[in-house]
A and B are shown apart, each in its own frame.
Chain A
Amino acid sequence: MEVADGTPLKKSLARSLRKEKLRALALIAPLLIFVLVTFVLPIGTMLTRSIDNSIVEEILPRTVLALEDWNEKGDELPNEMVFRSFVEDFQDAIADKNHTKIGSRLNYEVSGMSSLFRKSARKVKKWDLTDNAPIKQKLIEVNKAWGDVETWAVIKTHSVALTNGYFLNAVDMQRTPFGAQAQPENKQVLVKLFIRTLKMSLIITGMCILLGYPVAWLLANLSNRTSNLLLILVLLPFWTSLLVRTSAWKVMLQNQGVINDLLVWIGLITDDSRLEIINNQFGTIVAMTHILLPFMILPMYSVMKTIPPSYLRAAKSLGATNWTAFWRVYFPQSVPGIGAGSILVFILAIGYYITPEIVGGTDGIFISNRIAYHISSSLNWGLASALGAILLGVVLILYWVYDKIVGIDNVKLG
């Protein structure tokens, strides 16, 4: 097809639409930039940080080069050339005040590296290298650790610019001269933590479904006035601080807390066998179920609100008992609400931080608490990023699985 002047119709249509598209794009540009800056950028940085390892190469360039010819799998120390390059690099780093950075980077892999670098720096700083005197023995005299093959092997294995080391660490493995290997048993915590996070998030989601469904049903079926009042009660928690609510649970559940006092008072338990219901998994589940419940109720409610009561009546008039009518007719139609609520609660739960931190004790904490620890205490941001990336991956996979099973079109968020 062609238009009057001979240009193909498709082309001329595209040309006439281009201007409109550009204008539309210009209109949403501020929003687009905002999303880019606040959403895509941080996630992108996180993902790059989880594999970025250029720091070793930048601070110790000559050493890395010299180490290339050395066999880290053998038990011979690197030669004089390597030691000299290292001391040169080290002195430059000290001058730039970079030597602690490389120390802490390597300390993630082998503890003691940080102090080794810090202590050695004081002496190496003043050395004069112009006389070409042998330096290997001199450095080993400063600290015996420089005479260990392992020290140099660690530098070499972690000298690549892009590393899988953080991801290996995130799944309880490590990068060694002999390839990826499992961490020593006493350091294997993260996989367990991931599994616990998933398991507890599932339990919390399940609890929210059990508790939320009847409430949502009530909301959808009561008279408008009553249901509005009830809805305010459901939303009330949103108006109080998360910290306050979590702390309230602490008061409720602790050893000398309200629940325990009550149980002792009515004689169900004795004073010296008070229940441990806080600072463990139980406490986390209770508090998080409470905090996430509104996110389950609201999507359920909005779906149930659209199911006319005439369906139930029709089912009963066709001979179904109350239960059959509910189970065969009402429930299937409310499934999209359950789906939406579950996704919401599960994804929120899997990345939750504050509540497990406060009421979780040691065995009730989540992977995000570990991430927070690596970000603010151990300062191992690479590992934190790798953990975050894995968490993101898990959520995306679950979302995909959910889409395959339930169908994302079946989800109504309002």
Chain B
Amino acid sequence: MGTREPSLALDETNNAFVRFDRVQKSYDGESLVVKDLNLDIPKGEFLTMLGPSGSGKTTCLMMLAGFETATHGEILLDGVSINNIPPHKRGIGMVFQNYALFPHMTVAENLSFPLEVRNMGKSEREAKVKRALDMVEMGDFGGRRPAQLSGGQQQRIALARALVFEPELVLMDEPLGALDKQLREKMQFEITRLAHNLGITVVYVTHDQTEALTMSDRVAVFNDGVIQQLARPDMLYERPDNSFVAQFIGENNTLEGTVKSLTDDTAVVELDGGLQLQCEPINVDNVGQRTRVSVRPERAELNLNNLSQDACTLTGTVQEFIYMGDIFRTRISVAGCDDFIIKTPNSPNQKRLSPGQNVKFGLNKKDCRALDP
């Protein structure tokens, strides 16, 4: 499944750095964990694989690293098929979820290990280890054992170890999963900074969507072994291709209904509550088809004067009003949907609604996306 953004589409003959070509994977010979994966990653890109647990992200990463073999299809690195190249010859850096720092070696020895197995001279090794430690701001910790470091420090060392032998491709499998929120945000920033400074290609796995959206050049949303959408973070949020992506990324309102009429750029949907809504036709082909209309909570407009011409107005009943500091969160029942959420910024002239009150709001056509049922 491709993206709709022409600038991001890779032409067939280009030099994708990493290419998954019709890759399938099955562990038990009965079910496919990865189904027909096609993915091109250009050099220098930070690509994130995002998806719920069990969707096959780690499996894809392991196939790329060489620890699992693809049941079908080919994986190419820099134009060369690597299906038959053992992991240690692939030259791919890897950061593991539990860091996998060798406990019996000091930090410096850990970093020196990949250089030693490449038969690098001692002085050169020491220089590189020092540079890598400085890069992650851990210059003074070379003599310590991994067990004597905090989680965040171990994380940095794992990162430095994956980068010290200067791989062009680095894989990271939920590297920040074990850290607390604050540290995670700091590390997110550092990882992206390092990746861009060094110009390396990164394939990053996470199931934290904020992480995916803030760090990546592109995000591949996985579900059930299939890439549901591959797009820039903003596209992913604002223009989800299907209901799964709309639901999975950010908060989403779903209104169910039936397509009444359909033109190239407009689908009129009759909601189950009886109202009619003008929508962008994304995933609908026929009149009479069931559909789910996806609307982001902050796109519902309470100030009716701000609406464009193709907007529809709806009336609902306030169920709940929650004060959240920077925003207000209002739960409304409208058109057969009991948990339609509206988010409004906390500004001086924003009215506060109270439960039971009727409220009128508008939805612009471009914010209503008619997706698969």
Contact = CB atoms under 8 A, between A and B. Distances in A.
Interface of A: 308, 310-311, 313-322, 324-325, 328-329, 332-333
Given A313-B87, A333-B103, A318 B96 contact: no
Contacts of A328: 113
Given A313-B67, A333-B103, A333-B104, A319 B117 contact: yes
20 contacts: A308-B98, A311-B100, A311-B102, A313-B65, A313-B94, A314-B96, A316-B86, A317-B65, A317-B94, A318-B93, A318-B94, A318-B113, A318-B117, A318-B162, A318-B165, A319-B91, A319-B165, A320-B114, A322-B88, A333-B104
A310 B96 contact: yes
A313 B102 CA distance: 11
A308 B114 CA distance: 19
A294 B331 CA distance: 66
Nearest 8 A-B pairs (CB), nearest first?
A: A318-B114, A314-B100, A317-B94, A310-B100, A316-B87, A320-B117, A332-B104, A316-B88
Nearest to B170: A317
Given A314-B102, A333-B102, 8 more contacts: A308-B98, A313-B87, A313-B100, A316-B66, A316-B87, A318-B113, A318-B117, A329-B102
B113 A308 contact: no
Nearest to A335: B104
Interface in B199-242: none
Interface string B79-121: 0000000111111111010101011100000000110011000
B156 interface: no
Contacts of B100: 308, 310-311, 313-314
B161 interface: yes
B77 to A, nearest CB: 14
A332 B102 CA distance: 10
A324 B117 contact: yes
Contacts of B102: 311, 314-315, 329, 333
Question: DSSP class of A's interface residues: helix, strand, loop or mixed?
Answer: helix
Interface of B: 65-67, 86-94, 96, 98, 100, 102-104, 113-114, 117-118, 161-162, 165
Question: DSSP class of B's interface residues: helix, strand, loop or mixed?
Answer: loop
A315 B65 contact: no
Nearest to B65: A317
Contacts of A320: 88, 113-114, 117
A317 B87 contact: yes
A314 B154 CA distance: 14
A314 B161 CA distance: 10
B104 A318 contact: no
Contacts of B117: 318-321, 324
Nearest to A331: B104
A216 B88 CA distance: 25
Contact of A313 (B86, B89, B96, B103): B96
A321 B104 contact: no
Contact of B161 (A313, A316, A318, A322): A318
Contacts of B118: 319
Question: Which of A316, A318, A319, A321 is most buried by chain B, counting CB atoms within 10 A of its CB?
Answer: A318
Contacts of A322: 88
Contacts of A333: 102-104
A308 to B, nearest CB: 7
A333 B92 CA distance: 25
Contacts of B161: 318
Contact of B113 (A310, A313, A315, A321): A315
Contacts of B93: 317-318
A117 to B, nearest CB: 66
A321 B65 CA distance: 14
A310 B87 contact: no
Contacts of A310: 96, 98, 100
Contact of B114 (A313, A319, A332): A319
A314 B96 CA distance: 8
Contacts of A332: 104
Contacts of A317: 65, 87-88, 90, 92-94, 162
A315 B90 CA distance: 13
B228 to A, nearest CB: 28
B105 to A, nearest CB: 8
Nearest to A320: B117
Contacts of A313: 65, 67, 87, 94, 96, 100
Nearest to A318: B114
A315 B66 CA distance: 13
Contacts of B165: 318-319
A332 B145 CA distance: 15
A178 to B, nearest CB: 58
Question: Which of A310, A317, A322, A332 is most buried by chain B, counting CB atoms within 10 A of its CB?
Answer: A317
A316 B92 CA distance: 10
Contacts of A316: 66-67, 86-88
A407 B102 CA distance: 20
A271 B90 CA distance: 58
A309 to B, nearest CB: 9
Nearest to A330: B102
A318 B104 CA distance: 16
Contacts of A318: 88, 93-94, 113-114, 117, 161-162, 165
Contacts of A319: 88-89, 91, 114, 117-118, 165
Contacts of A324: 117
A321 B67 contact: no
Contacts of A329: 102
A333 to B, nearest CB: 6
Nearest to B100: A314
Contacts of B94: 313-314, 317-318
B88 A321 contact: yes
Contacts of B86: 316
B367 to A, nearest CB: 44
Contacts of B114: 318-320
Contacts of B113: 315, 318, 320, 328
A306 to B, nearest CB: 11
A320 B161 CA distance: 13
A356 B305 CA distance: 101
A333 B91 CA distance: 25
Nearest to A313: B67
A155 B194 CA distance: 90
B175 to A, nearest CB: 12
A345 B87 CA distance: 38
A324 B89 CA distance: 13
Contacts of A308: 98, 100
Question: Which of B100, B104, B161, B165 is most buried by chain A, counting CB atoms within 10 A of its CB?
Answer: B100
B206 to A, nearest CB: 18
A307 to B, nearest CB: 9
B197 to A, nearest CB: 21
